[in-house]
Amino acid sequence: MLNRVDLYERMERARAGGGEASVGGVLVLRMQRLREFEAIFGYAGTERLSQAIDDRLRRALRSVDQMVRIGDCDFVAILPQLHDRQHALLAANKVARVMSEPFEIMGRPARAMVAVGAATWPHDGTDPDTLCLRADEACLHAARQRGRHALYSGSQRCEISHDTLHEAILRNQLQVYLQPIHALHDDALVGFESLARWHDGMDWIPPDLFIPVAEQTGLIDELTQWSINTTLRHCAPVLAANPGLTCSINLSPRAIFEHGIVDQIESSLKIWNVKPSALTVEITETAFIEDADFLSDVLGELHALGVGIAIDDYGTGFSSLGYLRQFPMTELKIDRSFVLDITQNTRSEQLVAAMIDLAHRLDATVVAEGVEDADSLAVLRRLGCDWYQGYYKARPAPADDVLAGIGEQAVAG
């Protein structure tokens, strides 16, 4: 691996070689969920994947391009002599596409979840440090948007600090949005998923920007407390008037590992007079890899209270049946990436069918996320899925607006 000085010297030479009016680009490729991959394939498997990515990336690039490995599974590509700025985006798209094909690692199929970001000179900057930072920002944006590739845009920048987020919580700038969840067999309303939204007075700041800040700056406990109490405050009257309805709240893995989360949830349920059975906490399967024993204890305590446990975004990580055996689970939420192409991709349909069968064998309810059309709904109904949510039926909306319309909907009894 080259050091930063060597990388920057290569970039300077590439830019200078094309003249002042030349257009060139920088790609940053980063593998996502590297720790999960290591847990499954080990360090030797990770090193072999890195070499396989290296080989595939070299084949995807032009002969004039240069590729540099900057981390275990992180790479920079220098792209001189581009026709225009859009060619950097096309290159990022090509790289992301070739990386989406499965690898064979130690005799086993494996997928590398990568994000690719691009920046260009002179449009995004001329010095190597700025160009790399902006390609890195585009890479982060691609990972958050699940687009897998992105070209740098100034709008991707969002300076969020501990103080600005802390002030937003104190000044009630954050809002609870709810997305309804419906039963597939009769379309009855069965519950809601609570989602945090933040408007800073000028623009909406997406959760995938401010939640990592909360985790990194120690505000995740405060943000979690706000989410639980505000959600229950909004939903308590409707939950009391409609037994059987539930509300789901996402818990950050970092919040789960903060001591006192069980007491915090139990206290909030009592304050708002909500039955534990009316609350479901959602955790992503990526949380399991952090500290399985501690997580098992926390979820066991919540389950003992009567709180539902949902595994969110199922199928997107390196799923292990051992987790499902070890942890209490009342719901399994199938990630939208499997649902979006369920009518076009036989393999996706087969995987969803297997997930549904597995969950039912474990006495868990299956929720399909990201349902956006009637055809997908029909397939899910045929496969025996229990509940669904998505834009086809209802987009997330402010809690008061969603709850005000409850009387107009069929509610599960």
Domain segments of the chain as ranges: 4-156, 162-408
pLDDT score at 118: 92
pLDDT score at 291: 66
pLDDT score at 322: 66
Spatial CA neighbour of 285 closest among 340, 355, 217: 355
For domain 162-408, give the CATH superfamily: EAL domain (3.20.20.450)
Mean pLDDT value across residues 355-361: 93
Give the list of residues 6+ apart from residue 186 with CB closer than 8 angstroms, or none.
410, 412
Q: Give me the phi and psi of 120, to 5 degrees please.
A: -130, 150
At which residue do the structure tokens 């799923």 appear?
319
Tell the burial category of 244 from Cβ atoms under 10 Å away from its Cβ (0-12, 13-18, 19+).
middle
Here the contacts of 104-107 (C-beta below 8 Å, separation 24 or greater) are 105/41, 105/45, 105/48, 105/49, 105/52, 106/41, 106/44, 106/45, 106/48
pLDDT score at 73: 80
Q: pLDDT band for position 200 (50/70/90)?
A: confident
297 pLDDT more than 70:
yes
Q: pLDDT band for position 316 (50/70/90)?
A: low
Asked if 119 and 98 count as a contact pair (C-beta separation under 8 A), the reply is no
| Burial state string for 353-386 with b = 16 or more CB within 10 A and e = fewer than 16 | bebbebbeeeebbbbbbbbeeeebbebbeebebb
194 pLDDT more than 90:
yes
Helix, strand, coil in percent for the chain, rounding step 5: 50, 25, 30
* CA end-to-end span of the chain: 61
Class of domain 4-156 (CATH, top level): alpha beta
List beta partners, residue 103: 110
Spatial CA neighbour of 231 closest among 188, 282, 186: 282
Mean pLDDT value across residues 184-205: 87
Q: In angstroms, rounded to a whole number, what is the distance separating the alpha carbons of residues 85 and 25? A: 8
302 pLDDT more than 90:
yes
pLDDT score at 304: 95
Spatial CA neighbour of 200 closest among 238, 174, 166, 220: 174
Q: In angstroms, rounded to a whole number, what is the distance separating the alpha carbons of residues 104 and 406? A: 51
